[in-house]
């Protein structure tokens, strides 16, 4: 089992991931709506904070190291494949542990994949994956 601050920065669906610095974001958008009333004035309803949304870029790089400097033992392709397996689960709540160790049930809302160099001569391709999770 992955451990935060030992071999990963967050855990999603049982797999630990390292996050690209400066990309971790927790949003708490407000639930609100503005409508036009019969008299022509605007009515504004604010229901307060909505569900939490987490956004970050997961590193799916070859030769990633744990905090003690030892290799994680996974390739960039294996990290990428684990994220895609979680992403394709339909109507399934996933377990998520954030960098502070707080757990939540989430839906995998969006996944965007970036490959740094498609013509790399490395064995195995490295990826950066933009992830969006929404609280159940």
Pairing of strands 103-115, 15-19: unpaired
Q: pTM of the predicted model, to two decimals?
A: 0.89
The pLDDT mean for the chain works out to 93
How do residues 119-133 score in pLDDT, each as one tens digit? Answer: 665 566 789 999 999
Cα atoms found within 13 Å of the Cα of residue 8, Cβ hemisphere only = 22
How do residues 26-52 score in pLDDT, each as one tens digit? Answer: 999 999 999 999 999 999 899 999 999
Q: Which fold has domain 10-135?
A: Elongation Factor Tu (Ef-tu); domain 3 (2.40.30)
* DSSP helix/strand/coil, 136: coil
Burial of 88 (0-12, 13-18, 19+ CB in 10 A): exposed
Q: Report the alpha-carbon distance of residue 134 to residue 51 in Å, rounded.
A: 7
């Amino acid at each position: 089992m992955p451990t935060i601050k030992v071999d990963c920065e967050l855990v999603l669906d049982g797999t630990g991931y390292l996050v690209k610095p400066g990309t971790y974001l927790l949003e708490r958008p407000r639930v609100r709506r503005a409508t036009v009333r019969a008299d022509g004035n605007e009515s504004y309803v604010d229901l307060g904070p909505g569900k939490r949304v987490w956004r970050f870029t997961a590193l799916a790089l070859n030769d990633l190291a744990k905090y003690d400097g030892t290799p994680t033992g996974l390739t960039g392709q294996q990290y990428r494949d684990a994220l895609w397996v979680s992403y394709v689960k339909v109507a399934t709540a996933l377990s998520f542990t954030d960098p502070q160790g707080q757990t939540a049930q989430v839906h995998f809302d969006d996944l965007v994949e970036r490959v740094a160099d498609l013509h790399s001569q490395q064995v195995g391709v490295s990826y950066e994956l933009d992830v969006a999770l929404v609280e159940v």
